[in-house]
């Protein structure tokens, strides 16, 4: 469109020669800028990297407060029952890239002080009358950085790939939950970590979102029936959160992740020496008084997550189990999309249908 307009008015530019030249240079620059923007929008729409303009421009902030986070009790324990029930209203995502059966709600985190959207997909068995008294296992899905809560559904097509496998009994009927993880503006990655005075990103993912799911859906409260999965920066989150919170997660899936938080240049955790050390999955295992009963699947190509998985496996002791799979392929959503069926088939061996 911009090129057409430029061609139409190219010969109609009047005035002295310097003015005509400058005007035509501006027209060319305008065409170039709009072309670049168009390509960016097309790439973003295809990969759902940014959920909105605030995320892109770094003007969004989803931190309402940063209260002290109380110690976590066992999943479903006294601390969870003391909080008011979180009854939410759900609507559509209103994104043509996301399947229509994915629901969205805006959640105000009671523990974390974080506000953000959470996307939920229910397995085909959920509304089957034969399963009306059934409680379902849950998987939290963490995107990369930057990333959108829609990416797992729209780009990796997790629900579309898993639905037939669930109907065939090859994959457990998991409730799939994808919370917002881009919480800070100005190109700052919270790294799924509670950062004093800045953000309670860990508590948002591991406390507020699970509590909302338990309060609104027939979700199994047992930690043995919960898992967390992620790719890229989300893989780092999945590994460290599952190992840090065996009271919430039985298993984790990490695709093309990393152990050192500083691997992400925008990570606030990577810039703080103490947080950087404490949030490395290898160090989490070494510091654990008792090895967590967690199963972790780590997949990645050499130089892109494989060696990190081997380092986690070397540090693990029973009952922690680490399965490392070497992949081949680039660091792309298309690659992670291909991993979804096999990863969730593995997960169903750890959290089988009941």
Both tokens of 217, joined, read 């859906």
What is the pTM assigned to this prediction?
Answer: 0.84
Strands 91-92 and 102-108: antiparallel
Taking CB atoms within 8 Å and a gap of at least 24, the contacts of 216-220 are: 216/86, 216/87, 216/88, 216/90, 216/105, 217/120, 217/122, 217/126, 217/136, 217/175, 218/126, 218/134, 218/135, 218/136, 219/135, 219/136, 219/137, 219/138, 219/175, 220/135, 220/136, 220/137, 220/138
DSSP state of 207: I
Residue length of the chain: 354
Task: Report the phi/psi class of residue 73: left, alpha or beta, with left for phi > 0 and alpha for psi in -120 to 50.
Answer: beta
Per-residue pLDDT tens listing for the chain (354 residues): 556 555 555 566 666 777 667 776 776 766 665 544 454 444 444 455 555 556 555 556 889 999 999 987 644 443 444 678 889 999 999 999 999 999 999 999 999 999 999 999 999 999 999 999 999 999 999 999 999 999 999 999 999 999 999 999 999 999 999 999 999 988 999 999 999 999 999 999 999 999 999 999 999 999 999 999 999 999 999 999 999 999 999 999 999 999 999 999 999 999 999 999 999 999 999 999 999 999 999 999 999 999 999 999 999 999 999 999 999 899 999 999 999 999 999 999 999 998
Note whether 294 and 250 are within 8 A (CB).
Answer: yes
């Amino acid at each position: 469109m911009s090129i057409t307009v430029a061609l139409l008015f190219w010969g109609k530019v009047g005035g002295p020669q310097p003015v005509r030249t400058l005007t035509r240079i501006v027209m060319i620059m305008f065409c170039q800028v709009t072309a670049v923007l168009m390509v960016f929008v097309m790439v973003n729409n295809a990969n759902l990297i940014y959920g909105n303009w605030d995320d892109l421009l770094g003007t969004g902030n989803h931190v309402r407060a940063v209260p002290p986070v109380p110690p976590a009790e066992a999943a479903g324990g006294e601390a969870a029952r003391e909080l008011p029930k979180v009854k939410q209203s759900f609507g559509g995502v209103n994104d043509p890239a996301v399947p229509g059966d994915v629901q969205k709600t805006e959640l105000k985190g009671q523990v974390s002080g974080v506000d953000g959207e959470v996307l939920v997909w229910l397995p085909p068995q959920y509304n089957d009358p034969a399963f009306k008294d059934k409680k379902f296992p849950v998987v939290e899905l963490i995107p990369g950085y930057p990333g959108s809560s829609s990416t797992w559904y729209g780009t990796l097509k997790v629900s579309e790939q898993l639905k037939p496998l669930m109907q065939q009994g090859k994959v457990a009927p998991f409730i799939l939950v994808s919370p917002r993880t881009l919480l800070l503006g100005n190109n700052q990655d919270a790294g799924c970590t509670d950062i004093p005075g800045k953000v309670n990103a860990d508590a948002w993912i591991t406390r507020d979102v699970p509590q909302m799911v338990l309060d609104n859906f027939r979700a199994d409260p047992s930690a043995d029936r919960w898992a967390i999965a992620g790719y890229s920066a989300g893989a780092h989150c999945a590994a460290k959160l599952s190992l840090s919170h065996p009271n919430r997660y039985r298993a984790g899936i990490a695709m093309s992740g990393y152990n050192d938080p500083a691997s992400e240049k925008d990570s606030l955790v990577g810039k703080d020496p103490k947080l950087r050390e404490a949030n490395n999955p290898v160090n989490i295992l070494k510091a654990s008084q008792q090895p967590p009963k967690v199963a972790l699947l780590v997949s990645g190509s050499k130089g892109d997550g494989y060696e990190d998985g081997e380092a986690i496996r070397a540090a693990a002791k029973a009952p922690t189990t680490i399965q490392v799979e070497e992949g081949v392929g680039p660091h792309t959503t298309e690659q992670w999309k291909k991993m979804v069926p096999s990863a969730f088939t593995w997960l169903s061996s750890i959290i089988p249908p009941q």
